[in-house]
Structures are given as C-alpha cells and as structure tokens.
C-alpha cells in the first residue's frame, strides 16, 4: 500500500525526483511544504512566528533568531538546516540542503548532480537580503554575507563575504 502511494507521488513529480523514501517521510514532506508558504510570507507576521513554523517543519532554530519575510528554507529537507542563536536572515534569503536535477540530467551526471548536505549557520551570523546558501555550507560565528551573494563554500567566522559566487571581502576584526 505504501509503495503504491510513493509510486503515485513520483508520477506526479514529472521528471523531478521524489525526496521521500517512505510513506511517513512523504506525509512529513507534504505537511512541511504546506507550512512553508506561511513561514516565508511577506505579510506582516512576526519573526518569532516564522521561527516557530520553521521549527515545526524540522529546522533547528536557536533563540533570538530573526527571519525576514520571503525567506525560503529548503522545502524538501528542512531538518538538515541548523540556525544557531542570534542569527539574522534578512528578507528573501534562500537556504538549500539538496540539489536534485531532472531525470535526464541524472542519467548524464550520475551521482555528481545530486547533492544532499546540511547547512549550518552559526551564532551571531548575519545573512543579508536576497542571498542564496547552497547545500553543505557552514557560515561561521559573527560572519556577514553581503546582499545578493550566492554562498557555495564555508564562510569563516568574523569575515564578510559577497558576490556570485561569494568570495572573502575582509576580516571583521
């Protein structure tokens, strides 16, 4: 029965890849995806409310975290995201914990194209507006990610990075 539901769900994905491997995981993913648009809303809801919704989705969110409007924390694998205390994510930040190409590209790229890895944003970090954080990245304590950056590699503590892809700009102290 569970395999039948998984097969139906995969058929609805088209050439995409179903992230769930069990019925329980499928139900959790669907629930998470229903909460995600509310958590990422640009409507004037408080950051604490957004953080609570992200915790329900499985994101590990510390204390005194600011989540700006329009933030999208991975829809498929939110449980792989850790946001420590006193972190600030400005509006429209996107954090991805998985990269999963279409079926034809998976045939060409093999395992190279698919990446599933945690993202860790450490205490006191500030991710500015319109940034993208890719799978496997750790942003160090008190680091700053400049507006519009695409972070593909780890960011050292107390540094500023920016650009596409993000590169070291300067040490804070």
Structural domain containing residue 114:
2-171
CB 6 within 8 A of CB 27: no
CB 58 within 8 Å of CB 78: yes
**Per residue of the chain (173 residues), what is the pLDDT tens digit?**
666 655 665 555 454 445 656 666 766 666 666 666 666 665 566 778 888 888 988 999 999 999 988 889 988 889 999 999 999 999 899 999 988 777 777 778 777 777 889 999 999 999 999 999 999 999 999 999 999 999 999 999 999 999 999 999 999 98
Q: Rounded to the nearest 10 degrees, how much is the dihedral formed by the CA atoms of 45, 50, 53, 54?
A: 160
Give the number of domains in the chain. 1
DSSP 8-state class, residue 127: E
For residue 27, what is the domain's CATH number? 2.160.10.10
Residues in the chain, overall count: 173
């Amino acid at each position: 029965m569970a395999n039948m539901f998984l097969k139906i769900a995969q058929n609805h994905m088209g050439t995409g890849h179903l992230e769930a491997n069990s019925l329980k995981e499928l139900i959790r993913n669907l629930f998470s995806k229903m909460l995600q648009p509310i958590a990422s809303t640009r409507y004037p809801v408080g950051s604490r409310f957004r953080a609570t919704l992200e915790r329900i989705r499985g994101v590990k969110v510390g204390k005194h975290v600011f989540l700006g409007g329009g933030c999208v924390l991975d829809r498929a694998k939110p449980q792989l995201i850790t946001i420590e205390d006193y972190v600030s994510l400005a509006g429209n930040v996107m954090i991805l914990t998985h990269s999963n190409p279409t079926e034809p590209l998976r045939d060409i790229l093999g395992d190279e194209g698919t990446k599933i890895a945690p993202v860790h944003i450490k205490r006191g970090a500030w991710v500015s507006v319109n940034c993208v954080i890719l799978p496997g990245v750790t942003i160090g304590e008190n680091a700053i990610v400049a507006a519009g950056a695409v972070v593909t590699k780890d960011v050292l503590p107390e540094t500023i990075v920016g650009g596409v892809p993000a590169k070291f700009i300067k040490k804070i102290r």
